[in-house]
Structure formats: C-alpha cells, structure tokens
Amino acid sequence: MRRLLIAVLCVLLVASPTAAAQSETPGRAGVPLTVMSYNIHTGIGVDGRLDLARVAADIAAAGADVVGLQEVDVHWMARSEWRDQAAELAAAVDMAVYFAPIYDLDPAEPGKPRRQYGLAVLSRHPVVAAENHWITRLSTQVPNPTPEPAPGFPEVVLDVRGERVHVYNTHLDYRADPAVRRAQVTDMLRVLAEDRGEARVLLGDFNAAPDAPELAPLWTELVDAWAVANPSSPGPTYPATAPAKRIDYVAAGYPARVRDSRVITTGASDHLPVLAELTVTRRHGSPWDGPLPDHRLRYGTAHQAGLAAEHVDRLVPDVEAGVLASPRAFPGGVVLAARNGVIVRHAAVGDALRYGHDGAELPPDQRIPMREDTIFDVASLSKLFTTVVALRLVERDLIDLDAPAAGYLPEFGQNGKQDVTLRQLLTHTSGLPAGLVLGSYPTVEQRLAAVYAVAPRSPPGTRYVYSDLSLIVLGKVLERVTGRSLPDLVAAEVTGPLGLRDTTYNPPQELRPRIAPTQHGGARGLIWGQVHDSTSWYLGGTAGHAGVFSTARDLAVFAQMLLNGGRYGDRRVLRTDSVRAMTTNWNAAIPGADRGLGLDVNKPAFMGLLATPYTVGHTGYTGTSLVIEPDSRSFVLLLTNRVHPTAAGPPTNPYRHAVADDLARAVLER
C-alpha cells in the first residue's frame, strides 16, 4: 500500500463480526478464506427488478468471507432509487465495507449526497487499510472520451486470523477493442507488484475470456482459481439467463492458494457470481534459509511421500492430454514427481519418434515409443548446469560474481560492456539482447567474436531481458578461467559427482535410439541427437545456454541435490550458502523479473499452484520444465518433444501448469 486512507475507513467501515476474531485451530498449515466476485448490475436482476435483498441472500448463502462487488450505485440515480447500495448490502450481511468510486459527481440537487458509481469490497475480517488506486479508463460520463487515469481499483488489506491478505477488485473495460483493457492490466500489475510476496487476491469482472491476450500478463503473477479447480469445465458467468462466456474471476497468488471454485446460479443480476475457497499458508521465512533435507531418491507410494493419491493419479492423464489434443501439443513426454525423496510417479506417454526424415508422420510400427529413460535435448535447462559450475568456481575464489565479466574475458568489454558483472549475466540484467543470428559467420571463432561485439540495449542492472547471450558469455568466462571446456567442467563438477550417466553434451551415436528427436526442416533435416538450438549448434553444440541432453531420472537427482542444500548422498556439489544464493530473487527491484542465479523464481505461468516467492525452476524451448518447491520438499519434471517435427504447435505451458497443479493439490489435500 502506498498510503492508508484512514479517514475514508472511519466513514465507510462497519463493525467487523466476531467470527473474524476467532483463533485458528492450532497446528493447521493454513487459514481458510472464502472469496466471491459478484457483478451485481446495481441490484437489477434478470427480471428487470431492483432487489438488493436477493443479492444479499446470494452472499449470505455462499458463506463468503470477502466479496468483491462491481457495478455498485451510491446515491447515483433513479434506477437504484438513489440508495447507498454499498452500505445497505454491508448491513444486510453484517460485513465491513470499503467503497471505491469510479465516478464521483455533484449531487442532482443541492444538499443531497454526491452521486457515485463504482466497486465495493465486503469483509468479515478486520480491514487494516484500504486505497482506491487509479488505472486507465475510458469514461462513460463525458463526450468523446480518451483513455486516461481514473479511480476505481480498490485494494483492501485484511487481517485474516493473523495473516495479511491484499484483496483487489476490478471492473475492466467492456469494449470490443482490447486496448484499454491491456492498459488496465498493466496498471493493475504495477499496483500488485508493490505487494509481491504477500497474499494477493484479485476479484472482478474482466470483460474478457481467460485466453484473451490482454489478460496473459496477469497469469504470470496470479493463478485463475476457476481454471485451477475446474480445468475441464468452461464455467461461463455471463449472461445469467444463458451463460456463454466466462468473464468474472477470482485470481490468487501465494501464500493464498486455491482449493476449490464454483459458479453460483442466481437471477439477482445479469452476471453469475464466482466463489473460490482459498487457503492462506502461514509463512516462517524462506524455506531455503531453514534446515534442508538429506534425501536420496527412491520409488514409493503417494502415502509414503505424504501426498494425496487422487491428485498424483492425475499426473499421467494430464500429460497424455497433450498427446491426444487436437492439434497435438507434443508427440510424447515423461513426467516425474517426487516429495520427501520419494518418486511417486515416473512415467512415459506417447512417442519419442513419430515423424521421419522427410517430416512425414510414420506408420505406428515405425515409431519409437517414449520411455522413462528417454534422453531429451533439455534446451535452456542447460543454464542450470552452467550456473552450478560458476558457483563451484566462486566457492574456490576463482571468480567473483560482482566482478566485471570483461576482467576475465577482455574481448567482451567492448562497446560499453566493460562494467557488466557475472551476477548480471546470471540474472539476465546485463543489458544484452535476447539472442543473435550467427549463421552468416563462417567459423566458431567469428561467431563468438560477434557475440562479444554486441552492444548493450540498456545499462547493466536496470532492465530484465532473458538473454541466451548472457549465459554464452558466462560459459566462456568459466572456460577462460579454468582452461577447460564447458563439457569437461560440467562433467567434473556436476554430472560426475552426482552420477548422472545419461547427462552430456553432443551425445555419442550409440545413444541415438534412446534420444527424442526434435525439429525437421531446413538444411539440418531431422534433428536427432544434435542440439536443437541453432545458436548452440553454430558454437559446436556446447554453449552456456543450451546443449545439455539428459533424462528425467538424472534431472531428478539434480533437483534433489538443490533441495538437499547442495548435497546428494555422500557427495557435496555446492555449499548450502551457494544454493541459497542460487535460489534468492536478485531481481526483486524489477517488477515481473523474479530470478535467482540461473533460475526462474515464482513464475505461476508454468509453476501453477506450486508457485511461491521461494519456488524455483526453469523451462526449455524443446518442451522441458523443472519446478522445485522447497517448503513441501517436492519437485516435478515434465520433459516433452514438443518441437517434433515443428516448433509451430500449441504452447506447452498449460501442461507444465497442470502437472504442477496436480503435485500442489497432492500436497495441500494430503
């Protein structure tokens, strides 16, 4: 919150009910919270009658603790009989209220109350603070309006049995042109970013479908409660008489986690309200800072891992859904999930090879089925191996992450890059562009020279741009300092100590039958057993950003090593403080750019319900992903061949999200 509107609260808050002050049952892992989003259409139902009592009855019957109301009149006009709908509803359901006007106009007659229209938040829990934020709006109250900042995005901070919860309520622009909604989402994310790390719940009428491009940035910060709870159901909310589209939402971010969601049938408005049951997890600092486990992986049951079996059983069907989708998301995949060192699911679905050297689909008897030990080009998961090698050298005082990269690799210091540090390379804040086309340079040396000559696009440390070039440069720093190749360093520092026998660069020909092919096309034909990433390929298949081939089982050992604080069995790969540095969010000052050293941090877009401020992981362009959630000591891997035979297919994130949700639910409902 940027400021507290205490004076407004004193006027608008009614007494909080005693239920909110009841203590939580000792030993519970979280605090339950039921929230509702309800566009009340100013109390006018589908029958055209104004009847606030019906709205109040819906709220009371739902048992909601917090309600976000849209289209609320306060002495606005004759349609609502000039009544204060916010105060009346609050009194009817015995809840506190904060009203946030979008429009605040002079009274119709002298001496009458001001005319207001906007949104309200009702709460059974004590309200600590509230603010009516401004976002872009296209006014309906003036002729020829232009988009400009206006109020009507309320934020209410609640004390939910000792836990602070930020509740926001919104009503996005209704017009077909998404431009204003796009600007509103940007504005809301700026407000939400101020409270990152706190429990955040966004309620509202978004006037757009869940897959609308303008809403996509929201799903990088929050999860859509309905989509999490009912992934196979459309859940339409409008119009109430014959619901055809879902435009009303509850969205949440850790430590507020979704348990269930439903749409309520009613005729009290032209919208149907959405209810969600959440759990606000009680936090005790970063799990990476506390005692870490010392597990060796073993196969076992959901019960042995402390997981709910019904959700573990969803993992394989949710991956199979990608194989069976039309269009197909990927020919095949391998999923592996574990908790407390127990692998509860390790399964393969679909095909590793489905398309031949001419790009045509093969007959079933010529395909190669996916296996649990299929070897994948893991693409950008390679960055994690480069990072671990870098931290090993830090531990030996061979490099300093806060020293300029040019101090180790002088040729990189040209064109204004002399101050770029190794830490900035690892956190993608170096100012380097995302990539560089290298095919026009005839030799590896000339290609590297082109990388070193690239001019920064922004001053180092000021902007986040996910950059393959950053990790390419880091890999070359490691080679220069040690006099050894990156594959040799990864073998000596990571794969050798961990016993990762199937993890390598440029795999030998004899492993080809176990390798999942990737793309077909161009001069390279069917890429099979060679790195898919063209930049890495032009650099010999061994670059800091891509080039590693591995299996789900090997990557599981790598993930467990991190969860163990850098140790696996009797081998220590990293010091515990190095793991803490690797998993710390170094980009907290840059909204939406959460990154550790080489790792993504808190990315709901692919981490789903596992996303917390401490969750780490990474994705790979070929269709791979790893998510590690330290508080529950769990992780999930999804390896697919989604670029076989083309990279033009559907996105993989929905399936990454689904398996992460399955594991999160298995933890939450154990």
145-162 pLDDT, tens digit per residue, is 999 999 999 999 999 999
**For residue 60, what is the enclosing H or E element?**
helix 52-62
Contact yes or no for 387/599 (Cβ under 8 A): yes
Contact yes or no for 425/471 (Cβ under 8 A): yes
Average pLDDT of the chain is: 93
112-148 pLDDT, tens digit per residue, is 999 999 999 999 999 999 999 999 999 999 999 999 9
565-595 pLDDT, tens digit per residue, is 999 999 999 999 999 999 999 998 887 799 9
15 has a pLDDT exceeding 90: no
Question: Which residues contact residue 140 at a Cβ distance below 8 angstroms, ignoring those fewer than 6 apart?
Answer: none
Q: At 104, is the pLDDT very low, low, confident or very high (cuts 50, 70, 90)?
A: very high
Instruction: Give me the DSSP letters along 92-112.
Output: HHT-EEEEEEEEEE--SSTTS
Per the listing, tokens 């573990």 go with 312
Q: Give all domains of the chain, ordered by start, each with its CATH number.
A: 6-15+31-281 (3.60.10.10), 287-383+500-668 (3.40.710.10), 401-486 (1.20.58)
Q: What's this model's pTM, rounded to 2 decimal places?
A: 0.81
Q: What is the pLDDT of residue 591?
A: 78
44-101 pLDDT, tens digit per residue, is 999 999 999 999 999 999 999 999 999 999 999 999 999 999 999 999 999 999 999 9
Q: Tell me the Ramachandran region of residue 359: left when phi exceeds 0, alpha when psi lies from -120 to 50, beta otherwise.
A: left
What's the chain's length in residues?
Answer: 670
Grouping H, G, I as helix, E, B as strand and the rest as coil, residue 278 is strand
Tokens of 377: 């080009």
Which residues, listed in sequence order, are joined to residue 428 by a DSSP beta bridge? none
Q: Tell me the Ramachandran region of residue 17: left when phi exceeds 0, alpha when psi lies from -120 to 50, beta otherwise.
A: beta
Nearest to 546 by CA among 412, 376, 667, 393: 376
Nearest to 188 by CA among 249, 272, 239, 277: 249
Question: Which residues contact residue 449 at a Cβ distance below 8 angstroms, ignoring those fewer than 6 apart?
Answer: 411, 441
Nearest to 597 by CA among 585, 607, 588: 585
Nearest 5°: the CA angle 130, 136, 142 is 110
Q: What is the pLDDT of residue 419?
A: 97
Task: Indicate the pairing of strand 376-377 with strand 504-505.
Answer: unpaired
Q: How many beta carbons lie within 10 A of that of residue 509, not counting itself?
A: 7
498-534 pLDDT, tens digit per residue, is 999 999 999 999 999 999 999 998 889 999 999 999 9
Q: What is the pLDDT of residue 6?
A: 36
- Mark 15-43 as b/e (b = at least 16 C-beta within 10 Å): ebbeebeeeeeeeeebbebbbbbbbbbbb
What angle separates helix 653-668 from helix 315-324, to the nearest 10 degrees?
160
Grouping H, G, I as helix, E, B as strand and the rest as coil, residue 129 is strand
Give the Cα separation of 532 and 530 in Å (integer): 6
Contact yes or no for 68/131 (Cβ under 8 A): no
250 has a pLDDT exceeding 70: yes
- Is the peptide bond preceding residue 239 cis, with omega within 30 degrees of 0? yes
Give the Cα separation of 26 and 503 in Å (integer): 46
Q: What is the pLDDT of residue 670?
A: 79
Q: Rg (Cα) of the chain, in Å, rounded?
A: 27
19 has a pLDDT exceeding 60: no
Contact yes or no for 545/472 (Cβ under 8 A): yes
For residue 471, report the phi and psi dihedrals to the nearest 5 degrees: -75, -25
Q: At 1, is the pLDDT very low, low, confident or very high (cuts 50, 70, 90)?
A: low
326-370 pLDDT, tens digit per residue, is 999 999 999 999 999 999 999 999 999 999 999 999 999 999 999
- For the ranges 24-33, 107-116, 162-171, 194-203, the lowest mean pLDDT is seen at 24-33
170 has a pLDDT exceeding 70: yes
Nearest 5°: the CA angle 59, 63, 68 is 50
Q: At 608, is the pLDDT very low, low, confident or very high (cuts 50, 70, 90)?
A: confident
394 has a pLDDT exceeding 60: yes
Tokens of 18: 């005693």
